[in-house]
Amino acid sequence: MDNSLAELIVELGYGCCSSVAECHRQLSSLGREITPSAIARVLGAMVRTHTGLDKTANFYADKEKPESIPSTWNVDIFVQAIKEMAPNLRWDDVIRELDFPEFLVKDRQSLTLLMTALRSGLQAQGFHPDIFPIDNIYRAWDNAEGQVTQTH
């Protein structure tokens, strides 16, 4: 069984999002279809791994310049590459596809990363930056544990 796009992106590490050109190149070389489900799973993987990827195993690790290795995902670059490669991707569909078993927002930084990516994608689709299709998140999910909800 071949690896999913999300698994391959995590394997490449944070550096695959170092520039739009590099991200575009890596996504093209992986040969996976860019669908709302695939992008939702990549975002889910990025949310889970926003810190802690092993820098020594990073594909882009420059052993001579460890400070040049990114320490998190640059989701703005990732989204821009996706917008160029799949301009007709519906980001509201990506939001609906976040309802999968491995999706979990574990902290504030995870939520910030997710919302940055989704807002950027939605803007390309014509949504106003201050408007978010909340109905796509605020509904009954199969993965209730992973649902982004407000708790007190």
In the chain, how many domains are there? 1
Looking at residue 141, its pLDDT comes to 73
Full DSSP string of the chain: -PPPHHHHHHHH-GGGGSSHHHHHHHHHHHT----HHHHHHHHHHHHHTSS---TTT-TT--TT-GGGS-SS--HHHHHHHHHHH-TT--HHHHHHTT-STT----SHHHHHHHHHHHHHHHHHTT--TT---GGGTSS--SSGGGS-----
Q: 127 lies in which domain range?
A: 5-146
- List, as own/partner pairs, every contact residues 66-73 make where C-beta atoms lie below 8 angstroms and the sequence separation is at least 24, other chains included: 69/14, 69/15, 70/13, 70/14, 70/15, 70/17, 70/18, 71/14, 72/14, 72/109, 72/113, 73/14, 73/17, 73/46, 73/49, 73/113
Looking at residue 113, its pLDDT comes to 95
- Answer whether residue 130 is part of any domain: yes
Q: Which residues in 26-45 are b (16+ Cβ under 10 Å) and which e?
A: bbeebebebebbbbbbbbbb
- Answer whether residue 151 is part of any domain: no
- Answer whether residue 119 is part of any domain: yes
Looking at residue 54, its pLDDT comes to 66
- Answer whether residue 38 is part of any domain: yes
Write the pLDDT tens digit of every residue in 102-135. Answer: 898 889 999 999 999 999 999 887 777 677 766 7
With 0.85 as the threshold, say if the pTM is over it.
Answer: no
The stretches in the chain having pLDDT less than 50 are: 1-2, 56, 61, 63, 150-152
- Answer whether residue 45 is part of any domain: yes
Looking at residue 25, its pLDDT comes to 94
- Answer whether residue 129 is part of any domain: yes
